[in-house]
């Protein structure tokens, strides 16, 4: 069983526990009280690079990263640095996240929020919207085509933006055929957890030029962000480098506004 398969098994178990406690009908009813969805696309398709800054306590590859006793304080620091969106990990077993983190961050900042999880069921999409998410991650590698399309359509129906994540050429073709309006290229192989930053440059040409690309994994600082921007990224999703940085506000600011082919003084997150 791959790392991804193992994670999804745990995600499904935890999902059923939540569904037993709160039926889907109750979650749907809660949508009426959720804040209106925020549109992240103007930020992610404008001039210069954008940063999706992540609230991330742990990872399967690195283990413990940061305590983050108050995710709202970190989110405010990201927002102060100009983050275009904030990614909140809600997977419990491997990443130490929760929906409670998403709810807390939503109450603290006006920045668009991404629910970062292994979404495999409609229930999770409903949860995301009820908690105030504006974007939902959909991992192509974790979903059959019918499930991917159904979840993609539901995310959009609820006014949110799907971030469709790919790792190889076959997955990229599936995302393009789906009509994904925002594609994330993850340089981390979710089956082995190895990171190959060159994957982004290989896959970027397979995506229509008008579709904003988000580079995920392998960003340790400004130099990495610049390399991704030079290869066609409109945004970088950064977690570990920011939660371990002593100045997350400055680190986000340093990776914001980069332009392809324009050398930038190296600073910020390292």
- 125-144 burial, b at 16+ Cβ within 10 Å, e below that, comes to bbbbbbbbbbbbbbbbbbbe
**Alpha-carbon span 253 to 229, nearest angstrom:** 15
Q: With beta carbons less than 8 A apart as the criterion, state whether 207 and 176 touch.
A: yes
Task: Give the separation between CA 265 and CA 263, rounded to whole angstroms.
Answer: 7
Task: Please give the Cα distance from 120 to 11 (Å, whole number).
Answer: 8
User: Which positions are catalytic?
Assistant: 54, 56, 116, 165, 186, 216-217
Number of Cβ within 10 Å of residue 169's Cβ equals 12
Which residues sit opposite 63 in a β-bridge?
59
Q: Which residue has the tokens 């990872």?
A: 59
């Amino acid at each position: 069983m791959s790392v991804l398969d193992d994670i999804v098994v745990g995600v499904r178990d935890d999902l059923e526990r939540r569904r037993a406690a709160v039926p889907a009908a109750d979650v749907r009813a809660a949508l009426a009280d959720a804040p209106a969805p925020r549109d992240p696309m103007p930020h992610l398709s404008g001039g210069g690079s954008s940063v999706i800054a992540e609230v991330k306590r742990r990872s399967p590859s690195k283990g413990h990263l940061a305590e983050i006793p108050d995710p709202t304080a970190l989110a405010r620091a990201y927002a102060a640095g100009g983050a275009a969106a904030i990614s909140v990990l809600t997977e419990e077993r491997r990443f130490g996240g929760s929906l409670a983190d998403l709810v807390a961050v939503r109450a603290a900042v006006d920045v668009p929020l991404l629910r970062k999880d292994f979404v495999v069921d409609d229930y999770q999409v409903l949860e995301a919207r009820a908690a105030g998410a504006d974007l939902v991650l959909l991992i192509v590698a974790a979903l059959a085509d019918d499930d991917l399309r159904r979840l993609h359509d539901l995310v959009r129906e609820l006014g949110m933006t799907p971030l469709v994540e790919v790792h190889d050429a076959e997955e990229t073709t599936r995302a393009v055929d789906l009509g994904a309006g925002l594609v994330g290229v993850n340089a981390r192989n979710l089956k082995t957890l190895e990171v190959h930053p060159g994957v982004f440059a290989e896959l970027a040409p397979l995506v229509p030029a008008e579709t904003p690309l988000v580079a995920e994994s392998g960003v340790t600082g400004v130099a990495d962000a610049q390399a991704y921007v030079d290869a066609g990224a409109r945004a970088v999703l950064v977690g570990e480098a920011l939660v371990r940085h002593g100045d997350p506000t400055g680190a986000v600011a340093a990776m914001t506004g980069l332009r392809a082919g324009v050398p930038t003084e190296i600073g910020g997150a390292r």
